[in-house]
Amino acid sequence: MRIVHIKYCTLCLLLLIIAKQAQAIFYDEPKVVYIQPLGHVEKSDINMVKSAIEHFYHYKCIVKTEVNFTRDILADSKTRYEANRILSKYNTNENLLILTGKDIACANPERHSTEWGIFGLGYRPGKTCVISTFRLKRNASAQLLHSRLTKVCLHEIGHNLGLNHCTSGDKRCFMNDARGTIKAVDQEQIFLCEKCRKALST
């Protein structure tokens, strides 16, 4: 009886695998991006990110349970968090966007700074990016924050998908290098220029 039972289970398992593969082929399941709140993040900010990714990239977003800040991701000044340390700590095989309300920074040799405050950072290509609303919220109405957060989010996911910074000269393209200035982000639109669009599809 025991052997029969094992055979039955093996067959079920096999049928399940075949069915899953058929489903993936015929229904083309959307890719999943997990949103990981790091520390307390406003629900409205999470929803903005979710809707930006779902509308533009047509990915399905799943929000994870908030995780707490730890000392190992602090920047050397201990006054904010180091974006590269956050990325390497949370990098896994799943697509992950880490969202935080705290300030993040990374080294910027161009500006001779070891701790340059940034809006976001993402592996290129890769699966993990981190976005901070801290600088995006400065002097911003709800509408302006929505626009900024959407563009930064699409920009970092663009890096994960292998896109470099835009070289077309079109200031509307959200893949422009903001170089840490909010003015550059505000000049952009929820728009990907033809050059970047082509790079994304190849």
Q: Is 173 in the site for Zn ion (CB under 5 A)?
A: yes
Task: Tell me how far, at minimum, the Cβ of 123 lies from Zn ion, in Å.
Answer: 11
In the sheet that holds 113-118, the strands lie side by side as 81-82, 104-108, 113-118
Q: Are 119 and 136 in contact (CB under 8 A)?
A: yes
Segment interacting with Zn ion (CB under 5 A) among 62-70, 110-118, 131-139, 169-177? 169-177
Among 44, 79, 168, 181, binds Zn ion (CB under 5 A): 168
Residues 198 and 202: their CA atoms lie apart, in Å, by 6
Instruction: Work out whether 196 is an interface residue with Zn ion (CB under 5 A).
Output: yes
Active site residue 156: yes
Question: 16: how many CB neighbours lie within 10 A of its CB?
Answer: 10
**CB 130 to Zn ion: min, Å:** 12
CB of 195 to Zn ion, least distance (A): 5
Is the Cβ–Cβ distance between 196 and 164 less than 8 Å? Answer: no
95's enclosing H/E stretch is: strand 95-100
Q: Which of 175, 185, 188, 199 binds Zn ion (CB under 5 A)?
A: 175
Q: Which is nearer to Zn ion, 104 or 193 (CB)?
A: 193
- Which of residues 23 and 168 has its CB atom nearest to Zn ion in the complex? 168
CA pair distance 179, 106, nearest whole angstrom: 12
Residue 172 phi/psi, 5-degree rounding, is -75, -20
The catalytic position among 66, 156, 188, 194 is 156
Q: Should residue 121 be labelled a site residue for Zn ion when binding is judged by CB under 5 A? A: no
Report the residue from 97, 166, 185, 199 that binds Zn ion according to the rule CB under 5 A: 166
Distance CA 193, CA 202 (A): 15
Q: What is the identity of the amino acid at 169?
A: G
Catalytic residues: 156
Residues that bind Zn ion (CB under 5 A): 166, 168, 173, 175, 193, 196
